[in-house]
Structure 1
Amino acid sequence: MPSSRSGHRDFLPLLPYLPHRPSIDMHVAHFVHRSAQRWPDRPLWLGLDFQISYREGSRRLNRIARQLLQRGQPGDRVAILSANRFEAFEIYLAAINAGMAAVPLNPKLHALEHAYMIADSGAAFVVFSPEHAASLDIVRADLPLVRHWVEMTHEPAAGTLPYADLLVGEDDSLPDVVIEPDTLAWLFYTSGTTGKPKGAMETHRNLVTMVQQFLLGILRDANEFDVMLHTAPIAHGTASVGLAHLAVGAAQTFPTSANFDPRHIFELIEKLQITSSFLAPTMVQMLLDHPARTSHDLTTLKNVVYGGGPMYVELLKQALQAFGPVFHQIYGQGEAPMTCAAMPKWEVNVGDGASATKLRRLASAGREMPGVRLRIVDDEDRDVPPGQPGEIVVRSDLVMTGYWNRPEASEETLRGGWLHTGDVGHLDEEGYLYITDRKKDLIISGGSNIYPREVEEVLLAHPAVSEACVIGVPDPKWGEAVKAFVVMREGSEVTETELIAFCLSRMASYKKPKSVERVAALPKSAYGKVLKRELRDRFWTGKEQRV
């Protein structure tokens, strides 16, 4: 048994699923410290009315890490539930700096969903912004394993530490903690087809590899003069893109608005000379549609990474015309973060008079990145020829070590040393990846993942519902919208509005059905399995189906 200082004792039994990988002397927090050495006076955290340099930011990470270690130990999990603010990314990095694992929670989720992830991860710390204090109060009594609650305010409620307490102390040197390459760095919770989320265990090796992939494959012109705008919570892909920018000494800034506000985004781009961001396709659509776009100078933009949902070709063409040749397409998932495949901006920007082949490839997810092997296989894990659909499988140092406390799910997903993504697609003759469906029926709405089974289980909890089936249907704003089909119990009555409200009371708002259709019966196979494709076809026929 390794010492507790290594911080990876909890998931060592899962390592045999992957091949042996030699050690490297690198961890994620080192990106900040190295940039502080090279560009000490450049801004790390930047706002309209403040800035914190890399020199001071590095010292802050060390002070926070030391305070965490006084209250815990390497290997502890630190859950983070926060609005969009720099402290959320700072505590993420400080936890990693202490040899602990960050567990960023999606702020859009329901309090009960947050409670499940906090309990499942065994988090010793929960760090949260004031906006989430009330929702956490509801579940706090049910989380006895949490030893420390920390609120990003100066005057928290009794039993809660103020965030400022983590910044005290004269010693701002690097903590003496051993962080191995396969130490757990990030526990990323993904929704599961069986209802409960699973924590994908991302190690320092995984995240360092991801950063290398970004800088080798697409962000080749990123540098210390860049300013990255985080429009999504750190539980989303924005933190991953942010790590790559930390490695080159770029500044990081966060909107002050609670929700995605295009006018505010345009103002920040102009005032702070934003160069970089991560956007879900829904955000791109909202920026395009807003009338304030043409009244701001947006010419500083040079790298916009997009992913997490379908970017339709027509939308991409409009975005290129409005914002210029700045867009990079990426493909990845929580189990292999962000950079399994990519199409860099110099390929995305096809220009006027592009050939039919180049235009067609705008519908692809690009090609496998350096350091990645990507295959398309049948149900027996045999390679299929170009053009033929199959499951996408990936092998790389990007790939997680497994799911937290889910050995059977880990073994199934990582069988044969390959990550089985559950996505269906095909490769063309030159290796461009086209993602055409989701093997696991995943719905991606506004960049957020929604699994039908989870919504179906809530609907079936209503006493008037006998059967339920949930699918994703095309939506011009969100990419996909959640649609439910229900079979009513004999003699029962309930309206569409009542069913949607019932779901909203039990899950995050973005997961609830946008529409509910009553049917006499659901289409089923001879074995009794609901034929979701028959329900989808009338909505998707003639449409692009892309992830």
Structure 2
Amino acid sequence: MTPTVTELLLARAEDRSTGLLFEDRRWTWAEHVRACAGYAATLTGTLRPGGHFGLLADNVPEFSFLLGGAALSGHVLVGLNPTRRGAALARDIALADCELVFAEEKYLPLLSEAGVPVLPLSELEPAREAVVPVAAKPEDLLMLIFTSGTSGDPKAVRCTHGKIAYPGEMLATRFGLSTEDTVYVSMPMFHSNAIMAGWSVGLAAGAGIALRRRFSASGFLPDVRRFGATYANYVGKPLSYVLTTPTRDDDADNPLKLVYGNEGAEADLAAFGTRFGCHVVDAFGSTEGGVNFGRDATTPPGSLGRLLDGVAVLHPETGKPCPPVEFGEGGKLLNAAEAVGELVNTGGPGFFAGYYGDPEAEAERMRDGMYHTGDLAYLDADGYCYFAGRLGDWLRVDGENLGTAPIERALLRHPAVSEAAVFGVPDPRVGDQVLAALVCRTPIDPHEFAAFVAAQGDLGPKQWPRFVRVLDTLPRTATHKVLKRELAADGTHDALELRYPRI
């Protein structure tokens, strides 16, 4: 039976083990639950029953207390993104039907157009009186989490008690976590990774939850040692940022046993585990939760793992299952047009509980009773799945559909390239031309780089970037996803045109 966050909290009401760690402060689980109950009473006296409130804050203790308070009182916490500004942030607040917003003082200037009352978080006090916890059900709404907004305005994903509690309990059980462990949470708590792969895991296990106000690559290992962290959650790019910090002979001398997350680069997963003496488990998933699966010990390099029952790769035009990919010399995809399709949960919505206030986007996700991820993938002959990019990233070059992810993976093999984002720019005649935005460790020579690309056996000539733009950084969301639409808006401006050998 799927638990609720309320049940998981109440199970810790008398637990004297460490429940929350932040900087130099500590709370037992019993103290944490009492604080949540106090905030629940405050919410009950401030909002209408079931009302929504926004929270604009870093990973501070009040975030945990208010989320727990919402679970006990039946209210809904709306995680607000501090990289949003002005009318955009006001749009998120209005879409989520927030009655008011709690904010850290440093973020108050961002809320001049909020349109609802704004209260400094420092002035929020937990009530002294006890609150009678609601009898929550797994399908009850607990939180609204906005998507990254890489392809347009962020959507508010409905996160129910079950959607948050189930992965926490599942992962805590899968990894054997207990009150002897400490879960390190440095990813932003307004996003799903921190809540479902971090906070809820610690709650379900009864482990201590160590909060880092904001992610810091240089602060990662010192924090792990200071808090005694045995488990940490991540998204891909921060994992690579940690690896760029100077190496030391004692890097593996730390308590970390397991790191779990998604979107990790293949090379980073192995390098991180070796350097820090831990096991790295990378999975596929999204805030929506419609499709989730992960790697295991048998997963070949580059693969996301095997699909779960009911999940298939369907051709976006015919809606039929795609055949396995055929590999040529050097790993080149010989039948990409037929083998690359969209990842679809044919059995239903999975843990997708819908978008709040956006029925059109919800209908686009759920078509014919099936959940459509919008992610492109292909399967090998053994059933292992490989990511090929986003459906919106699909390039049309000389009449052929191409995914961007295989091109990006190949470009990252060049020793000078640390980051790569591939997207399409309009071809003067028809379709797209391939442009690659790169962040480089050292300068690249266009002639040498073109020769390198042409030498990659798994790339065909239509996949070779026609243009390359070298940048200091790639534009990213607060959750570290590349904003390709911003890159594409510049077209070929400041881009180098590559010259390839005739074939």
Q: Which residue of 2 aligns with 1:393?
A: 344
- Which of 29, 33, 42 does residue 10 from structure 2 map onto? 33
Query: Within 1, Cα distance between the matches of 2:226 and 2:187?
Result: 19
Structure 2 CA distance for partners of 1:249 and 1:262, relative to 1, 3 Å: same
| 1:97 corresponds to 2:53 | no
| 1:42 corresponds to 2:17 | yes
Q: Which residue of 1 aligns with 2:91?
A: 116
Q: Helix, strand or coil for the counterpart of 2:5?
A: coil
Counterpart of 2:152, as a letter, is G
| Residue segments in structure 1 that go unaligned for 5+ positions in a row | 1-23, 154-161, 348-357, 457-467, 478-495, 521-534, 540-547
Q: Does the 8 Å contact 2:172/2:178 carry over to 1?
A: no
Deviation at 1:29, TM superposition (A): 2.9
- Which of 165, 178, 182 does residue 139 from structure 2 map onto? 182
Deviation at 1:245, TM superposition (A): 2.0
* Cα deviation digits, residues 329-380 of structure 1 (max 9, x gap): 111112117x701125xx2xxxxxxxxxx5x7231222346xx631111234
Structure 2 CA distance for partners of 1:436 and 1:36, relative to 1, 3 Å: same
- Which residues of 2 match residues 241-256 of structure 1 at below 5 A? 241=197, 242-256=199-213
Q: Does the 8 Å contact 2:374/2:391 carry over to 1?
A: yes
Q: Which residue of 1 aligns with 2:458?
A: none
- Which of 356, 361, 364 does residue 303 from structure 2 map onto? 364
* Cα deviation digits, residues 142-186 of structure 1 (max 9, x gap): x1xx3x533222xxxxxxxx12x2x12232x443x3423222122
Q: Does the 8 Å contact 1:304/1:328 carry over to 2?
A: yes
Q: Does the 8 Å contact 1:79/1:105 carry over to 2?
A: yes
Counterpart of 2:11, as a letter, is R
Deviation at 1:435, TM superposition (A): 0.9
| Residue segments in structure 2 that go unaligned for 5+ positions in a row | 326-338, 395-403, 409-420, 426-431, 442-468
Q: Tell me which moved more, 88-97 or 273-282.
A: 88-97
Aligned length: 418
Structure 2 CA distance for partners of 1:314 and 1:194, relative to 1, 3 Å: closer
Deviation at 1:244, TM superposition (A): 1.8
Query: Within 2, Cα distance between the matches of 1:316 and 1:75?
Result: 42
Q: Helix, strand or coil for the counterpart of 2:274?
A: helix
Q: Helix, strand or coil for the counterpart of 1:116?
A: helix
Query: Within 2, Cα distance between the matches of 1:472 and 1:116?
Result: 32
Counterpart of 1:101, as a letter, is V
Q: Which residue of 2 aligns with 1:376?
A: 313
Q: Helix, strand or coil for the counterpart of 1:102?
A: strand
- TM-score scaled by length of structure 2: 0.73
Query: Within 2, Cα distance between the matches of 1:537 and 1:190?
Result: 34
Q: Helix, strand or coil for the counterpart of 1:282?
A: helix
- Which of 241, 248, 268 does residue 223 from structure 2 map onto? 268
Taking every aligned residue pair, what percent have the same amino acid on both sides? 21
Structure 2 CA distance for partners of 1:518 and 1:187, relative to 1, 3 Å: closer
- Which residues of 2 match residues 404-443 of structure 1 at below 5 A? 404-441=356-393
Counterpart of 1:378, as a letter, is H
Q: Helix, strand or coil for the counterpart of 1:222?
A: coil
- Which of 72, 87, 99 does residue 47 from structure 2 map onto? 72
- Which of 321, 332, 335 does residue 288 from structure 2 map onto? 335
Deviation at 1:269, TM superposition (A): 1.1
Q: Which residue of 2 aligns with 1:280?
A: 235
Query: Within 2, Cα distance between the matches of 1:210 and 1:114?
Result: 29
- Which residues of 2 match residues 176-255 of structure 1 at below 5 A? 177-191=134-148, 195-215=152-172, 219-236=174-191, 237-241=193-197, 242-255=199-212
Query: Within 2, Cα distance between the matches of 1:139 and 1:452?
Result: 34
Q: Does the 8 Å contact 2:139/2:162 carry over to 1?
A: yes
User: Aligned-residue CA RMSD in angstroms?
Assistant: 3.8
Query: Within 1, Cα distance between the matches of 2:256 and 2:497?
Result: 39
Query: Within 2, Cα distance between the matches of 1:230 and 1:190?
Result: 19
Q: Does the 8 Å contact 1:329/1:366 carry over to 2?
A: no
Q: Helix, strand or coil for the counterpart of 1:59?
A: helix
Q: Which residue of 2 aligns with 1:150?
A: 119
Counterpart of 2:209, as a letter, is Q
Structure 2 CA distance for partners of 1:132 and 1:366, relative to 1, 3 Å: same
Deviation at 1:71, TM superposition (A): 1.4
Q: Tell me which moved more, 390-399 or 64-73.
A: 390-399
Which one scores higher on RCO, CA 8 angstroms, separation ≥ 6? 1
Structure 2 CA distance for partners of 1:227 and 1:119, relative to 1, 3 Å: same
Query: Within 1, Cα distance between the matches of 2:433 and 2:119?
Result: 40
Deviation at 1:192, TM superposition (A): 5.4
Structure 2 CA distance for partners of 1:264 and 1:35, relative to 1, 3 Å: same
Query: Within 2, Cα distance between the matches of 1:202 and 1:65?
Result: 19
Q: Helix, strand or coil for the counterpart of 1:35?
A: coil
Structure 2 CA distance for partners of 1:519 and 1:473, relative to 1, 3 Å: closer
Structure 2 CA distance for partners of 1:240 and 1:475, relative to 1, 3 Å: farther
* Cα deviation digits, residues 86-143 of structure 1 (max 9, x gap): 222321222232212221122233343322111111111312112211212x223xx1
- Which residues of 2 match residues 313-352 of structure 1 at below 5 A? 313-336=266-289, 340-344=292-296, 347=297
Q: Does the 8 Å contact 1:215/1:244 carry over to 2?
A: yes
Structure 2 CA distance for partners of 1:294 and 1:91, relative to 1, 3 Å: farther
Query: Within 2, Cα distance between the matches of 1:43 and 1:408?
Result: 44
Counterpart of 2:310, as a letter, is R
Q: Does the 8 Å contact 1:389/1:426 carry over to 2?
A: yes
Q: Does the 8 Å contact 1:266/1:293 carry over to 2?
A: no
Query: Within 2, Cα distance between the matches of 1:275 and 1:324?
Result: 11
Query: Within 2, Cα distance between the matches of 1:111 and 1:85?
Result: 23
Query: Within 2, Cα distance between the matches of 1:88 and 1:53?
Result: 16
